[in-house]
Structure 1
Amino acid sequence: MPRFARLSALALLVTPLASCFGTGDRPVQVVAIGDPQSLFSADPRMPYAARMLRAATVEGLVGFDEKGNAVPALADRWIVTDDGLSYIFRLRDGKWGDGSDITAEAALAALQQAIGAQRGQPLGANLAVIEEVRAMAGRVIEIRLHQPMPDFLQLLAQPELGLVHGRRGAGPMLSRRASDPDLKLSGVLLTPIAPEDRGLAPEEGWKDHTRRLRFSAGSAVPTLKLFADGKIDLVLGGTFADYPRIDAAGISRGAVRMDPVQGLFGLAVVHADGLLELPENREAIAMAFDREAIANLINLGGWITTTRVVNPGLDGDNGSIGERWVGRTIEERRALATSRVARWKGLGHPLSALRIALPSGPGNDLLFERIASDLKAIGLDSRRVGAAADADLRLIDTVARYPAAAWFLDQLGCSAINQLCNPTADQLVDKALTEPDPAKRADLYASAEAQLTITNSYIPFGVPVRWSLVSGNANGFAPNRWAIHPLMPMAMLPR
């Protein structure tokens, strides 16, 4: 597919505001934790706030509802062939934001542009499952896959795959830049678009059951204070780093909603030099960490720890790869790790302090203290550096876009990240892409995970932590597996 020029996020998101309507109440206030400018980021690896805003203003063929289910968007219905290799979408009878008809040819060009923008990014590796996209009849698009993918609709619903035509999307909300001087927040004011203006059937009384929504991005401390003071209705995008701030802000635990996500939360090896040159030394570091103690750092009951690259029990996991060092106590593991460090030092190699890159936040402050203590127990010093600084080990904290082994392996592939990788694992994943037999495909994924495990290029701690804060004035929110919380349902009032 051809590579298309990227559009700036501002061009995608800032559109004329429709006339005011709704209940007349103040807009629902929603803030995503993050850099205030992240809302308008043009980075293909869209920050969380930018992804939520794009999903509200630039629909794809399908989208997410509040429970994380794939639902109709530009396509109002679809069928999947019996072999699971072809998805045929019927586009709704509507118009783009510029007033032109939604056609298969226009949607095809927009989808190719969205896919092209993800090349060389982690999501781009996931999209390699697509073999061909073609326009059929006037409003019909077919997507053919290399292999069946049960979670393909979840992948297609990602905000990055929203379709742009004439520098604008097709709803379901219109946005304009709008500051809130009282709250000292700069963001956008979102207005729901009436169903009939989107090519859908009119709904009686629809305007009486909608409200506008003000969406911003803001740093954690002031955002949580505003929520505690009752001035914000929902806070989205919370992570391990800021989890301890909830209690510090005096917020009731009844307002906290945890997303049951899966994904990567651990340390990636950035440079394979010095002590990290040998895989057995990298394994020594992996053995040093007390994962249960990490879970206790922020009093997070039920947090799932793992020593595996792939979260266990997912689609494509045949069960042949288990947890590591089963039957060995943490003391036994550290004794073995200490002997490897001592042997390296005894050969005359210098031991510099390992540079650990972590984002800011009290949760990560506690995490670094734990990391430093565990490394000290096997004879290694460490020092913390900024999240974007050059480092030896860097925290990866990212939620799985779909629950399959392929997602994890793609994220750790040589083309997706700037860290130590294993070309053999990549070759196995590539081979799995065109393997028609599910059992053989699962074997290939297991072999790829085994390669990454032997390489010790990624040191898992457990699954990511994602949380939100929800007030009594909020509607349309539900925890889900993807930690994606669409804004449109939050603007709808109960009937």
Structure 2
Amino acid sequence: MLATRYVPAPFKARRHLAALTLLGAALAMLPGCGSNDRSRFALAVIASADDTLQDGIDRPLARQLTRSAVAEGLVAFDEQGRVVPALADRWIVTDDGQSYIFRLRDGEWRDGDPLIAKSAKDALDAAIRAQRGRPLELDLATIDEIRVMAGRVIEVRLFRPMPYFLQLMAQPELGLLRGKQGDGPMTVERQGDVARFTPIEPSRLGLPEVPDWDLRVRQLEMTELPAARAVERFNEGEVDMVLGGRIQDFPLTSSVGILRGTIQLDPVIGLFGLQVARGSGFLGDPRNREALALAIDRPGLIAPFGVSGWTPSTRLVSPGLEGDLQTNGERWTDEPIEQRRATAAARVREWMDGADDGEARAAKVSIWLPAGPGSDVLFQRIASDFRTIGVSSERAKSFAEADLRLVDDVARFPRARWFLNRLSCAARRGLCDPEVDAIVAQAARVVDASQRSAVLGEAEARLTQANLFIPFGTPIRWSLVRGNVAGFAPNAYAWHPLMPLAWLPK
């Protein structure tokens, strides 16, 4: 049985967002707030009052960054989105692609107990159990069993081959805990609103000693702030980086001058559109839901933001993914927007005139968008599009009360399964189709890749026909990065771990 070392590079998303570089190379000569005090590096993570409303999908970014910094998994991501060794210093993949064998590094847990396969397996089992009822549980359903093979060797056996399985294992939720403590690579202390991260000397983790360690690394100070305050602190030179930017806050970047830093956009794929939250009234008819999708001028939605390279899409699953049989293509490609809107307006009029009591009904929807100036612009564009077909719109007062809810998620791995899992009933975002969920679950056990793609294509087709989600295109993720910062790179997962930022620039 031939086995190979497997450390894949990140996938190349076909739907790119070009990085917006506003700073010349000469800016690297200018001092940042971290250059005068090389012992610390300050960054802000954007917090939103709406984070808790979507907590059933992904944890807030600051919490995920903290988990990945203090609790490594078997593997991790580097700053470029590549899978690198963590608690496992090497691994092999069997020829059939259904067995991943990890060899743990020679070290100890933080409590002094040896890092052995049995304790690591127990920790991994616990991390997976913690995902019950969340979409990540569905992603992990490919795992058949986890077993101890030797003192420091674990095997993860899959029901069928899963490309990008290591990317899944590198997710922050799968950082391993022992007695509620992780095994680095950093420790964290909290002082008020500031979380201070300190790199752990490698020899304490069972790794080779690094000479002059204290002279090569620095502490990180992370603060979670509202977007406007985070950008303000960046402009004032109080932080070197801002992470976690989304479309609702993108207009705030207009205040970042050429002497302050660079706006970086991640080349991500994922879900960006409106989820239908309730199936009553106007939205009770799939044809009416399709009418809303027909009315959207997708390029026009993003035009006010001036984002170069953004590509619209009418598909639930990002086009061009490996394994896509292209049985589900873009919709309405041969119809100009005027024709689509005429079709949609006719459906709206038919519904409005079809009341049992003979009186005309009003077609009206409420839309939830996270707070922020970008959401204000986005809502105005959506509402304008809906008005062209006779549907009026209002901003929902809360996530719970909305008829339509914005979904804005970056794909954790580039496969149709991720997209369908995030639109499943487990996601708890709105209307869903249990029969589609059953089809996707069935696909997890299909070994043949082409057959599995066909099953997932059927699931996408059924969900498309139901019109439970109105796609816009790819998500937007942005960061502010001062010109002299090392340890940061735009990547396809919009994931920027803390440890690479702790290395002092050479």
Same fold, TM exceeding 0.5? yes
Describe the superposition over 1:392-423 as per-residue Cα deviations: whole angstroms up to 9, x where unpaired: 10000011000111100111112233311122
Instruction: Tell me the residue number matched to 1:277.
Output: 284
Instruction: Give the TM-score normalised by the residue count of structure 1.
Output: 0.91
CA shift, 1:127, in A, is 0.9
Instruction: Tell me the residue number matched to 1:205.
Output: 212
Distance 1:166 1:108, change over 3 A: same
CA shift, 1:99, in A, is 1.5
Q: SS of the residue aligned with 2:426? A: coil
Percent of matched pairs sharing the same residue: 49
Specify the code of the residue in structure 1 equivalent to 2:393.
Answer: S
- Which of 436, 446, 449 is the equivalent residue of 2:457? 446
Instruction: Tell me the residue number matched to 2:106.
Output: 93
Instruction: Tell me the residue number matched to 2:324.
Output: 317
Tell me, yes or no, if the aligned pair for 1:36 and 1:218 is still in contact at 8 Å. Answer: no
Aligned-pair RMSD on alpha carbons? 2.0
Instruction: Tell me the residue number matched to 1:189.
Output: 196
Describe the superposition over 1:461-493 as per-residue Cα deviations: whole angstroms up to 9, x where unpaired: 011100111113422000111111010010101
Specify the code of the residue in structure 2 equivalent to 1:354.
Answer: V
Task: Please show how residues 236-247 of structure 1 align to structure 2 within 5 Å.
Answer: 236-247=243-254
Instruction: Tell me the residue number matched to 2:476.
Output: 465
- Which of 111, 123, 143 is the equivalent residue of 2:124? 111
Describe the superposition over 1:190-218 as per-residue Cα deviations: whole angstroms up to 9, x where unpaired: 11001111100112233211011101111
Tell me, yes or no, if the aligned pair for 1:24 and 1:211 is still in contact at 8 Å. Answer: no
- Counterparts of 1:209 and 1:37, CA distance in 2: 38
- Counterparts of 1:254 and 1:318, CA distance in 2: 42
- Which of 366, 371, 374 is the equivalent residue of 1:363? 374
CA shift, 1:391, in A, is 1.0
Instruction: Tell me the residue number matched to 1:182.
Output: none
CA shift, 1:388, in A, is 2.5
**Which range moves more in the overlay, 79-88 or 346-355?**
346-355
Distance 1:233 1:386, change over 3 A: farther
- Which of 425, 428, 434 is the equivalent residue of 2:436? 425
Q: SS of the residue aligned with 2:443? A: helix
Specify the code of the residue in structure 2 equivalent to 1:109.
Answer: D
- Counterparts of 1:188 and 1:449, CA distance in 2: 42
Tell me, yes or no, if the aligned pair for 2:50 and 2:371 is still in contact at 8 Å. Answer: no
1:455 matched to 2:466: yes
Matched residue count: 467
Instruction: Tell me the residue number matched to 2:421.
Output: 410
Distance 1:383 1:167, change over 3 A: same
1:215 matched to 2:222: yes
- Counterparts of 1:488 and 1:231, CA distance in 2: 20
Tell me, yes or no, if the aligned pair for 1:23 and 1:211 is still in contact at 8 Å. Answer: no
**Which range moves more in the overlay, 353-362 or 41-50?**
41-50
Q: SS of the residue aligned with 1:243? A: helix
- Which of 260, 270, 291 is the equivalent residue of 1:263? 270
Tell me, yes or no, if the aligned pair for 1:29 and 1:215 is still in contact at 8 Å. Answer: yes
- Counterparts of 1:47 and 1:199, CA distance in 2: 31
Tell me, yes or no, if the aligned pair for 1:316 and 1:406 is still in contact at 8 Å. Answer: no
- Counterparts of 1:251 and 1:232, CA distance in 2: 16
Instruction: Give the TM-score normalised by the residue count of structure 2.
Output: 0.89
Instruction: Tell me the residue number matched to 1:297.
Output: 304
- Counterparts of 2:276 and 2:331, CA distance in 1: 18
Instruction: Tell me the residue number matched to 1:8.
Output: none
Distance 1:342 1:38, change over 3 A: closer
Gaps of 5+ in 2: 1-34
Instruction: Tell me the residue number matched to 2:146.
Output: 133
Tell me, yes or no, if the aligned pair for 1:63 and 1:157 is still in contact at 8 Å. Answer: yes
Tell me, yes or no, if the aligned pair for 1:44 and 1:117 is still in contact at 8 Å. Answer: no
Distance 1:145 1:213, change over 3 A: same
Gaps of 5+ in 1: 1-21, 180-185
Tell me, yes or no, if the aligned pair for 2:348 and 2:363 is still in contact at 8 Å. Answer: no
CA shift, 1:248, in A, is 3.4
Instruction: Tell me the residue number matched to 1:62.
Output: 75
Q: SS of the residue aligned with 1:231? A: coil
- Counterparts of 2:302 and 2:199, CA distance in 1: 41
Distance 1:288 1:416, change over 3 A: same
**Which range moves more in the overlay, 223-232 or 249-258?**
249-258
Tell me, yes or no, if the aligned pair for 1:241 and 1:359 is still in contact at 8 Å. Answer: yes
Distance 1:135 1:201, change over 3 A: same
Distance 1:364 1:218, change over 3 A: same
Q: SS of the residue aligned with 2:425? A: coil
CA shift, 1:37, in A, is 12
Distance 1:273 1:133, change over 3 A: same
- Counterparts of 1:33 and 1:219, CA distance in 2: 6
- Counterparts of 1:248 and 1:494, CA distance in 2: 27
Tell me, yes or no, if the aligned pair for 1:130 and 1:143 is still in contact at 8 Å. Answer: yes
- Which of 82, 102, 116 is the equivalent residue of 2:115? 102
CA shift, 1:167, in A, is 1.1
Tell me, yes or no, if the aligned pair for 2:45 and 2:61 is still in contact at 8 Å. Answer: yes
**Which range moves more in the overlay, 369-378 or 25-34?**
25-34
Tell me, yes or no, if the aligned pair for 2:242 and 2:481 is still in contact at 8 Å. Answer: yes
1:485 matched to 2:478: no
Describe the superposition over 1:229-250 as per-residue Cα deviations: whole angstroms up to 9, x where unpaired: 1111111010011011010354
Tell me, yes or no, if the aligned pair for 2:57 and 2:135 is still in contact at 8 Å. Answer: no
Tell me, yes or no, if the aligned pair for 1:315 and 1:405 is still in contact at 8 Å. Answer: no
Tell me, yes or no, if the aligned pair for 2:168 and 2:413 is still in contact at 8 Å. Answer: yes
CA shift, 1:350, in A, is 2.6
- Which of 113, 134, 145 is the equivalent residue of 1:121? 134
- Counterparts of 2:388 and 2:57, CA distance in 1: 40
Specify the code of the residue in structure 1 equivalent to 2:480.
Answer: L
**Which range moves more in the overlay, 360-369 or 377-386?**
377-386
Instruction: Tell me the residue number matched to 2:233.
Output: 226
CA shift, 1:102, in A, is 0.9
CA shift, 1:252, in A, is 5.9
Distance 1:144 1:252, change over 3 A: farther
Specify the code of the residue in structure 1 equivalent to 2:120.
Answer: A
